[in-house]
Structure 1
Amino acid sequence: MLDELAGHPHGDDLARVVHTAAFAAADERRTTLAAGIAELVDRAGLSAADAETRFGNVIRALERGTSEGAGSATRVLLATLLARGVALSPPEGPEAEGRVAEALVWLSTYTSVDALIALDAALGERAAGLWRAIAALVRRADQGALPELGRAGAILAAAALRGSTSPDARAEAAALVDEVRDPIVRSLLRDAVSPGRRPSRAPGAAAGGGEGASGGAPWAAGGAERDAGDPARLAGELAPPPRGPVQLVLLAATGILLVIHLVRLAGRGLLRYRRPAALEISPRGVIVRSRTELFGRALREQETYIPVEALLRATREVRYPRLGLYAGLVALGLGTYLGVSLLVDGARAGSPELLGVGALVFAVGAALDFGLSHLETATRGRCRVVLVPRKGPSVALAGIDRAAADLALGRLPRA
């Protein structure tokens, strides 16, 4: 597109018009570029016919603004013209580069013009100072010092650093990886440092499913993945964190614990209430992404990041590993005792009814023993992972494979 504009008789004039309109919108914090377009075009001595290109009419594209779909030719045309306008009037010095970088990131965040994708092509080596300024914006936005850009601006700036071919942009991305706290920004920057690596997917995960998409990758995995340098991933369901002994006794004695379990059981059966969650564990910390579903629809999505220095304890628990076996033994013992007693009484009284009832009770006890023991065997190997931060509530994920949990938790540094 730059080659096309270089051969256009009014290419540079159109670039200057787009540059002026875009920076005026950034200064006034307007999300459209249409204000004052007619005056700018008249001042440049252009007509509507002069603004025609193979990719669309520049003036009409400015007037339509955000009505064009993302990735459309006219939006890329405006982005390229804006980058060309910056190249025609490059900023001199770190202060000017900082102002231009902030305006470009703001425009990328709140308008349809994203010139960051064309900086390398338009400025070449002269874009190095802008990439350094953009990296500084990511750092400040991650610290909350740029509320006008916010998290969205930091993500778009990190994506621009990731997509850049400039060595300066990659060097800045490498320096930022260990500094930023936002997990999405850090992931984008990590990919910029190692562009050949693609995020791994869990077995059975749907390709193209985003974090909030139903059936997407974070919710479909059943085990753990461990690639070199990548975080281990676990998938399960959010569960209530362990209660203290005093709280547990009080809730059980008052009957509140039984009511809580009945309400949860009714919610799962009648309302299809679910809380699927994905857990990513790396040497830097833990990320928990979860969502709340009702009738199969996502009501809420949440992401929690616990850096390793803020993590007090991370354990896996196998809840009641022999409960089924013990319950089966109790059922077998009661069935044997009652069944034999009835058989003896029936034999003494010569009653076929008592003999039949005794045999039935004994058979029921044996069947319960077999069934409960089998249930224990079927659920063996599943566990609950409990994360206890130094501040804030604990987080627990249930239904996780024990071996996968051990593998993932082993990535955390030992205290």
Structure 2
Amino acid sequence: MTPDHSPHAVLDELAGHPHGDDLARVVHTAAFAAADERRTTLAAGIAELVDRAGLSAADAETRFGNVIRALERGTSEGAGSATRVLLATLLARGVALSPPEGPEAEGRVAEALVWLSTYTSVDALIALDAALGERAAGLWRAIAALVRRADQGALPELGRAGAILAAAALRGSTSPDARAEAAALVDEVRDPIVRSLLRDAVSPGRRPSRAPGAAAGGGEGAGASGGAPWAAGGADRDAGDPARLAGELAPPPRGPVQLVLLAATGILLVIHLVRLAGRGLLRYRRPAALEISPRGVIVRSRTELFGRALREQETYIPVEALLRATREVRYPRLGLYAGLVALGLGTYLGVSLLVDGARAGSPELLGMGALVFAVGAALDFGLSHLETATRGRCRVVLVPRKGPSVALAGIDRAAADLALGRLPRA
């Protein structure tokens, strides 16, 4: 793409055009209608859109070509041609005039843009940075989430071609958010071409650092996700490099009254048995990715049954709406206490049997007493060292000011500390 045929050159032209924004809105409406209806051309309804906007063919003239004629006939020119760059930049400008608000809206816009890039001649991804600047950060995160889902086979309408084009857009972007997303996706995607494109996006010297052991889900998460990109507070903080953690959605902590009532009625035991049966028999999983930045928290989760994704969900909590974010290790000394109880019972029963065996002269009682004592000692040793096997794992709990709490289990403890350190302190 030559400098004269670049999105910046088109934007400069539109800035001085008396109908520049009107043309951008026409292209935006036509393109998104085509994406919604899954049409590979943008010609349908153009005359009505132009009349509604009060435009004529003369009003659509630019030095890059006539916008209306380009929409009506489409284009088979090369990807760097003036007409294609004109339509792509007009679509990106249309998005900038009506920017999506929130992760859900950004996800819908991103999916439409990637679909248009894949199946039509209008590729607005090349002009997002020029048209939106820093406001494109949320769209790049949403595009990375699409790559993650497409790589997992969850987006058949985009497929491998869409994932490749989206990865190429992430690679070509100058946005720090896009580069961070690309760096995180390198460790997650399985497609060799997509991974190669993303690996080229960031040179080794510029690759954003990630918390140890952190990974994105898809996921979201979000990351999250997914996945996409993610040091404790201080000099290492970078608003464009969110920290991401991979884990699994877990029930949030219950209050003491609720916990006692559920335990006393036996409902708590039933809940745990049902959950255990679901994991073992139905392969029920809820993998999730937690993305933390100084601006807020995004949780991308996926519900799986028999290894197939049933639902994907993304939750965004701005930092202003976040009441508390904590890292907790559940029952950190449970193994030690259980071991002590086993040792005490084994000692009491074993010694009692040994005494009774000595009095009665019974080798069987003596042997049984020694066995019970040995089992108690072995249980004490094993349970006391159980914490070693699970050391370093924790649960992250997010409590918003409004709405339900969110908890992710199986998080690396060191990575959680580093990621939570990115949140501003009150």
**TM-score, L = length of structure 1:** 0.58
Q: Which moved more, 1:145-154 or 1:111-120?
A: 145-154
Moved more, 96-105 or 61-70: 96-105
- Closer/same/farther in 2, CA of residues 185 and 241 from structure 1, 3 Å limit: farther
Deviation at 1:380, TM superposition (A): 2.4
- In structure 2, how many angstroms separate the alpha carbons of the residues matched to 1:394 and 1:58? 50
The 8 Å contact of residues 231 and 419 in structure 2, kept in 1 or not, is answered as no
Number of equivalences = 415
> Which residue among 12, 15, 27 is the counterpart of 1:6?
15
Preserved contact between residue 213 and residue 412 of structure 2 (Cα < 8 Å):
no
Instruction: Indicate the larger mover: 23-32 or 135-144.
Output: 135-144
CA pair 328-202 structure 1, distance change in 2 beyond 3 A = same
Deviation at 1:113, TM superposition (A): 2.7
How far the C-alpha of 1:381 sits from its partner, in A, is 2.7
Task: Report the counterpart of residue 247 of structure 1 in structure 2.
Answer: 258
Closer, same or farther: CA 182–50 of 1 in aligned 2, 3 Å? same
1:134-145 equivalences under 5 Å are none
Contact 1:236 1:399 in 2 (8 A): yes
Identity across the alignment (%): 99
Please provide the CA RMSD for this pair: 12.0
> Are 1:325 and 1:369, in contact at CA under 8 Å, matched by a contact in 2?
yes
- Give 2:62's match in structure 1, choosing from 53, 61, 69: 53
Deviates more, 1:213-222 or 1:167-176: 167-176
Task: Provide the C-alpha distance between the structure 2 equivalents of 1:125 and 1:26, rounded to a whole number of angstroms.
Answer: 25
Tell which deviates more after alignment, 199-208 or 283-292. 199-208
Whether the 8 Å CA contact 2:284–2:304 is kept in 1: the answer is yes
> Aligned-pair distance for 1:387?
0.3
Contact 1:80 1:118 in 2 (8 A): yes
Deviation at 1:280, TM superposition (A): 1.4
Please state how far the C-alpha of 1:361 moved relative to its aligned partner. Answer: 0.5
Which digits, 9 at most, give the CA deviation of each residue in 1:325-375, with x for residues without a partner? 000000000000000000000000000110111011101101111111111
SS at match of 1:217: coil
* Residue 78 to residue 379, structure 1, CA distance change in 2 (3 Å): closer
Taking the aligned partners of 2:260 and 2:393, their CA distance within structure 1 comes to 26
User: 2:345 corresponds to which residue?
Assistant: 334
The range that moved more, 226-235 or 205-214, is 205-214
Give CA deviations for 1:117-165 in whole Å, capped at 9, x if unaligned: 4799999999999999999999999999999999999999999999689
SS at match of 2:201: helix
Aligned to 2:35, what secondary structure does the other structure show? helix
Find the counterpart in structure 1 of residue 303 from structure 2. 292
Q: Shift in Å at residue 41 of structure 1?
A: 18
Cα distance change, pair 227–368 in 1 and its aligned pair in 2 (3 A): farther
Judged with a 3 Å threshold, the aligned counterparts in structure 2 of structure 1 residues 271 and 250 are, in CA distance, closer, same or farther, namely same
Instruction: Say if 1:236 and 1:397, in contact at 8 Å, map to a contact too.
Output: yes
- Aligned partners of 1:94 and 1:371: how far apart in 2? 47
Question: Which string of whole-angstrom CA distances, capped at 9 and with x for unpartnered residues, describes residues 146-187 of structure 1?
Answer: 999999999999999996899999999999999999999999
Distance 1:242 1:152, change over 3 A: farther
Structure-2 change in CA distance of 1:378 and 1:223 (3 Å): farther
Distance 1:173 1:259, change over 3 A: closer
Structure 1 stretch 398-407 or stretch 75-84: which is displaced more? 75-84
Match of 1:235 in 2: 246
1:175-219 Cα offsets, whole Å, 9 max, x none, are 999999999999999999999965666778999997599995689
- Shift in Å, 1:114: 3.5
Contact 1:238/1:277 (<8 A) preserved: yes
Distance 1:269 1:185, change over 3 A: closer
Contact 2:288–2:302 (8 Å) recurs in 1: yes
Check 1:341–1:187 CA distance in 2 against 1; reply closer, same or farther (3 A cut).
Answer: same
Q: What is the rounded CA distance, in whole Å, between the counterparts of 2:135 and 2:422 in structure 1? A: 41
CA distance in 2, matches of 1:219, 1:273: 27
**How far has the Cα of 1:294 moved from its partner?**
1.5
Q: Note the alpha carbon deviations across 1:73-112, whole angstroms, 9 max, x for none.
A: 9988986999999999999999999999999999879954
Q: Which whole-Å CA distance do the structure 1 matches of 2:114 and 2:99 have between them? A: 16
**RCO higher in structure (CA 8 A, sep ≥6):** 2
TM-score by length of 2: 0.57
The answer as to 2:338 corresponding to 1:312 is no
- How far apart are 1:258 and its partner, in Å? 0.2
Paired residues of 2:330 and 2:395 also in contact (CA < 8 A): yes
Moved more, 380-389 or 346-355: 380-389
Give the C-alpha shift of residue 264 in structure 1.
Answer: 0.7
Q: Is the 8 A contact 1:55 1:74 kept in 2?
A: yes
- Name the SS for the 2:229 alignment partner: helix
Looking at structure 2, the residues matched to 414 and 32 of structure 1 have their Cα atoms a distance apart, in angstroms, of 51
Structure 2 gap segments, 5+ residues each: 1-9
2:396 and 2:212 map into 1 onto residues whose CA distance is 20
